Amino acid sequence: MSLERLINRSWYGKCGWTHIFQPIQPLVKKLVKQKRTGFLQQTNPSYRAPVPVIVIGNISVGGTGKSPMVVAICKLLKEQGYRPGIVSRGHGVKVNAPTAVSSDSLASAVGDEPVMLARQTHCPLVVFPQRDKAVQHLLNTTDVNIIISDDGMQHYQLNRDIEIAMLDAKRGVGNGQLLPVGPLREPAERLAEVDFIMSISEQMTDPLTKLNLPVVLTCLTSSRLLSLDGLRSLNSKAAFTADEQWHVMAGIGNPQRFLDTLTALGLAENNTTHKWFSDHHSFKESDIPETGNVVMTEKDAVKCQSLALLNPNLWYLPVSLVLPESFQQDFLEKLNLIKVGNQDE
């Protein structure tokens, strides 16, 4: 079992071996609090963009559904006449300056999620670890009038107008401890300060209910598998209900959520094998089965498309997130208040 899986078992399960790091928790809590307090009191000045900034992030390590939320928010904003732009860190790669990302960019150069977001949203997108500088570059080189930050809730160099925190419905906040004892980047109490808490789930779960906070539920939709070359498609329910073996692979923060999505579409466990890789894994040809039906996430497909692969049965599952009408209304009302406030300043 990999170190990453052992850590996750401790954070989210009953094997709490990471509590050996408990003695350093007071120091971690102090540093996290100082960072947040410095932002709120502006003792550490942050960059205030001349346009609204929306951060879509989380307080925990790992996948919670930020990317589909970014896509859904960009779609909503476009429908309202906005010109959104996206900034992202570019996990797993090293960029030395703010770098524009297009649909044709290489994932190995700018990151897998940014390329996927560029393809799905067709919005201007810039990657750089210092998101404040990424925003400035975006404003200087494009005509965007609203910014979406993909992750970056703890990047306090960038001021923000709206925060949307994503939570995993099954894992919640895990053991509720800060890194490295638990999965949290900030205390669970931080959720009470964000504008919206969202979770991809069809129903409330115990981990969400225990928070005693208003959580907006949303869901993912998908109906077809696309071939890795993008030339063919399959009805997912028909493909999965056929008596064929499928190999599931994923290099994402929470691969179990991907498997759950496939199962909900009809994938039978007795017809399934799987292999999980670390988040943002750099795939190579030997990682991919040479024969048989293989299904992966769209984020992984972005990287695998550049490989020399001979298996003709490689597929990925594109998903989209459905925003509840009530959330759309509340979000747009808050955004309008921000615009009015900015005009008064």
87: domain CATH number is 3.40.50
> 125 near 86, Cβ under 8 Å?
yes
> 126 near 134, Cβ under 8 Å?
yes
Work out how many domains the chain is built from and give that number. 2
Angle at 186 between CA 191 and CA 32, to 5 degrees: 135
Q: What is the pTM of this model?
A: 0.93
Do residues 198 and 248 both lie within one domain?
no
Whether omega before 255 lies within 30 degrees of 0, making that bond cis, reads no
Do residues 335 and 201 both lie within one domain?
yes
HSE on the CB side for 251, CA within 13 Å?
Answer: 21
Q: Which letter, b or e, does each residue of 61-83 get, where b requires 16 or more Cβ atoms within 10 Å of its Cβ?
A: bbbbbbbbbbbbbbbbbeeeebe
Do residues 150 and 211 both lie within one domain?
yes
d(CA 241, CA 257): 20
Do residues 29 and 124 both lie within one domain?
yes
Structural domain boundaries enclosing 23: 3-219+323-344
Do residues 108 and 183 both lie within one domain?
yes
**Which helix (H) or strand (E) covers residue 162, if one does?**
strand 162-167
pLDDT computed for residue 44 by the predictor? 82
pLDDT one digit per residue (tens) for the chain, 345 residues: 577 778 888 998 866 899 999 999 999 999 999 999 999 998 888 999 999 999 999 999 988 999 999 999 999 999 999 999 999 999 889 999 999 999 999 999 999 999 999 999 999 999 999 999 999 999 999 999 999 999 999 999 999 999 999 999 999 999 999 999 999 999 999 999 999 999 999 999 999 999 999 999 999 998 799 999 889 999 988 888 877 899 999 999 889 889 999 998 999 888 899 999 988 899 999 999 999 999 999 999 999 998 999 999 999 999 999 999 999 999 999 999 987 556 555
In one-letter notation, the amino acid at residue 272 is T
In one-letter notation, the amino acid at residue 88 is S
- Enumerate residues 6+ apart whose C-beta is below 8 A from 139: 49, 50, 51, 85
Do residues 134 and 267 both lie within one domain?
no
Do residues 255 and 329 both lie within one domain?
no
Do residues 305 and 327 both lie within one domain?
no
Token pair in block for residue 199: 């979770």
Residue 243, CA distances (Å) to 19, 38, 165, 266, 270 in order: 45, 58, 40, 11, 10
Residues in the chain: 345
pLDDT computed for residue 342 by the predictor? 62
> 184 near 147, Cβ under 8 Å?
no
Tell me the three state secondary structure of residue 54. strand
CA 60, distance to chain mean position in Å, is 11
Q: Please spell the DSSP secondary structure of 264-309, one letter per residue.
A: HTT--GGGEEEEE--TT----GGGS-SSSEEEEEHHHHHHHTTS--
Do residues 59 and 174 both lie within one domain?
yes
HSE on the CB side for 264, CA within 13 Å?
Answer: 15
Do residues 275 and 212 both lie within one domain?
no
Do residues 162 and 285 both lie within one domain?
no
Do residues 201 and 99 both lie within one domain?
yes
